[in-house]
Amino acid sequence: MPIQWFPGHMHATRKAIAERMPEIDVVIELLDARLPGSSANPLLAELTRGKPALKVLNKQDLADPQQTAAWLAHYQAQAGTRALALDASDTAPARRLIAACRELAPLRGGMVKPMRVLICGIPNVGKSTLVNTLRGGKRAAKTGDEAGITKVEQRIVLADDFYLYDTPGMLWPRIAIEASGYLLAASGAVGHNAYDDEEVALALLVQMLRHHADRLQARYKLGDLAGLNDEAVLAEIGRKRAPLLPGGRPHMQKAAEIAIHDFRSGAWGPVTLETLEEFKQWEAQAKLLDAEREARRAARSHKKKKLPQRGQGGDDGGGVG
């Protein structure tokens, strides 16, 4: 079943970002370099339309460098947009962020017109880690691998004339694309009660078999992968890494937990789960499905309107008991 996740706090975040937006010169969106398209939030694109944007592909150490380069080139080609890749090993990321923002808004700067930058990102993308580094290691923002740690807005002074605002509240992912939902869950951006480990692990393995089959082979000593599908690989992981169930069956739940953990911790080596072309196809399919859903909804409401309403010209009186 596709992941349905609608945390209730999005409204507050949307309001806070919308209110802050008129004073913001550049918006930094942190993306997960292993799933750049899926980890972008369409709501943010709506709220920040027209503002110069800096896309930061974070956790680049965990991503396939070739794919990261392709995604960076894609963003760099967009108007009013710059992109760079980063990871937590960069102990002084401020210089690159400041330079990119100054390129995007060259008229801002100096004490009279200081640069005001908003930093946003969905849970677990590494925002608190980056903000902590930018604050000089002072751990004001909490880090953790479960979605849902809320915070209040902070202002970080990166230079005398450069202010960075950390998004108040949580920018939850908006899951419009089914495949993205699974990858977001795998990355830790979605609350654990919203998904099934086995489904997520299988979706993860589908993408891994497509793009990085050799990594699975190496990690789990799988031998020849020809003819092995996602389920067969998950079963193999279970056989190799978890105690067997009665009858020698692999423990699929344990295997799923191991696969997700190995992905999150980078045990597979640098992997990127989605290519640009693939993500564009997913987007197009999701739009088509949305349009079909909308057409069905319109047809239903048209049909309802045609039926006589209770209490309108009927003889049921319309009264209450």
CB of 239 to ligand G4P, least distance (A): 27
- Which runs of consecutive H residues, i.e. helices, occur in the chain? 10-20, 42-47, 65-76, 94-104, 127-134, 178-187, 197-211, 213-220, 230-241, 252-265, 276-306
68-87 mask for ligand G4P (x: CB under 6 A)? -------------------x
With H, G, I as helix, E, B as strand and everything else as coil, classify residue 166: strand
Q: CA dist 142 to 29, 91, 294, Å? A: 19, 18, 40
Query: Is residue 258 close enough to count as binding ligand G4P by CB under 6 A?
Result: no
Q: Which of 93, 109, 123, 270 binds ligand G4P (CB under 6 A)?
A: 123
Closer CB to ligand G4P, residue 126 or residue 250? 126
# residues contacting ligand G4P (CB under 6 A): 18
| CA 38 centroid distance within chain | 5
Q: Which of residues 262-291 bind ligand G4P (CB under 6 A)?
A: 266
Q: Is 224 exposed, middle or buried (0-12, 13-18, 19+ CB in 10 A)?
A: exposed
CB 120 to ligand G4P: min, Å: 10
* 161 counts as binding ligand G4P under rule CB under 6 A: no
Q: Is 124 in the site for ligand G4P (CB under 6 A)?
A: yes
DSSP annotation string for 259-313: HHHHHHHTTT-S--S--HHHHHHHHHHHHHHHHHHHHHHHHHHHHHHHSPPTTSS
Greatest alpha-carbon span in the chain: 77
Find the part of the chain contacting ligand G4P (CB under 6 A) among 2-10, 64-72, 107-115, 123-131.
123-131
Please select the residue that binds ligand G4P; options are 81, 129, 154, 217, rule is CB under 6 A: 129
Contact map string, positions 27 to 66, toward ligand G4P, x by CB under 6 A: -------------------------------xx-xx----
- What the block records as the tokens of 215 is 């990594």
| Residue 144 binding ligand G4P, by CB under 6 A | yes
Note the residues at the interface with ligand G4P (CB under 6 A).
58-59, 61-62, 87-88, 121, 123-129, 143-145, 266
